[in-house]
Amino acid sequence: MRFAVPLRRLVRAAALTLPVVLSACGGGGGGGTDAPAPTPATATVATATHLPAASTLANVCTDDGQKQWVRSYLDENYLWYAQVQDVPAGNYGSPTAYFSALLVKSPDASGQATDRFSTSMSVSAADAMQGVSSASADPAAAASNPVPITKTVTTASGRRVGYVLFNQHSQGAQDALIGAFTQLRTAAVKDLVLDLRYNPGGFIYVAQAAASMVAGPSIDGLVFESATYNDKRSGDSAGGTFFFSTKVQRAETKYPVGTALPQLDLPRVYVLASSYTCSASESIVNALRGIGIEVILVGQRTCGKPYGFTRKDNCGQAYFPIEFRMANAQGSSDYTNGFPVQCQVQEDPLSALGSSNEPLLATALKHIETGACPAPSGIQVARQTMETLFDRPGAPSLASPMYQPGFDGRQQP
């Protein structure tokens, strides 16, 4: 599956105004609807007591068989299963359209659709997005370098600051981050700027490792985040706690389990953010704040996704229904409207990423020096120049599978 043409149009259209809006965090999903869903007045709340177990319906690859599996799987695993409205499966021309019609779209506390994140896509597309090596993965949609820039910059007073551009929590990102943090620890940086402006999320173990490397040895064993599932999955909720660690907890390619992580032992971190900053990226912010590490956000408000899902494949399609809500060590998960920033800064896509003059990084460096945000410049970027937002060296390609609508899951496959 190739995404280059439609994604370029989609993301560039979204990037014409400031702040940019992240389509990848805006729900959607595979297939769309082939017929309009019944209005809420004519729909009935699903009790689903008649449904067989999803495991008994799997891999029956007729349209009807797949739709039965979808309905049963959501009833067992979907976080908001009790709010699902029964709609006639026959009104929808594909299993993915039926899946989308069942998702809960009623407003949440922030006034947005409760579920704007669940999605489905082909197995090959899911493999490519998650960086999973498989025979089905489309090489044309291969994920880009998750950590393309690591450098040390110096403030006006000579303070050494580490800068890491971290674009996605895909498989392989943990290895790349270990290399980046090793470089910065060797350079003895005194502050860190973690650039997550393009990062819509991915695997939670990568977020755990990143946050653990910002911190120091004293965080070992502290709660990173805890997952709460629906009331049918109390056992999963009881065992759904993730912990900070000083060592690799899940191996990728280079570093085996138990390898010591290069920790910077910092009391604070600066995060460059935008509406693209989502899910696992927000987990880094939330988890570090949960253990008392100061996180200063620079840029624009984040996307607002304290939810996660696991991937489930059936008949060549990968499904990602929201399954759990994440909370930090203090029990906080109240950011469905996104994290506000301490220093609001307009993006300038003509500035090179990692440059001391790039507005978001320059603001972070100024705050490191003075403890205050610079006054807003009031400069507005011309509409036509926003098309270069993704054209800077280090920025992900618009054709990257990470921008498929809905890709911000955080669990392992």
Which pLDDT band holds residue 259 (cuts at 50, 70, 90)? Answer: very high
pLDDT at residue 181 tops 90: yes
> How confident is residue 379, by pLDDT bands cut at 50, 70 and 90?
low
pLDDT value at 35 more than 70: no
Q: What is the pLDDT of residue 378?
A: 54
Give residue 45's pLDDT: 35
Task: Give the rounded percent of residues in the chain with a pLDDT score beyond 70.
Answer: 78
Mean pLDDT of 280-291: 97
Least trusted range by pLDDT, from 97-101, 135-139, 406-410: 406-410
pLDDT value, residue 397: 77
- 248-286 as b/e: b if 16+ CB within 10 A: bbeebeebeeeeebbbbebeebbbbbbbbbbbbbbbbbb
> Residue 334 has what pLDDT?
93
Q: Per residue in 233-244, pLDDT tens?
A: 999 999 999 999
Read off the amino acid at residue 262.
P
Whole-number pLDDT of residue 139 = 47
What's the rounded mean pLDDT across residues 30-39? 32
pLDDT of residue 49: 62
Terminal Cα-to-Cα distance of the chain (whole angstroms):
20
Q: Walk me through the domains of the chain, giving residue ranges and CATH numbers.
A: 22-141 (no CATH), 149-308+328-397 (3.90.226.10)
Report pTM: 0.83
User: Which band of pLDDT confidence, cut at 50, 70 and 90, is reported for residue 216?
Assistant: very high
Higher pLDDT, 350 or 17: 350
Q: Are 312 and 54 in contact (CB under 8 A)?
A: no
Please calculate the CA angle 176-179-180 and round it to the nearest 5 degrees. 85
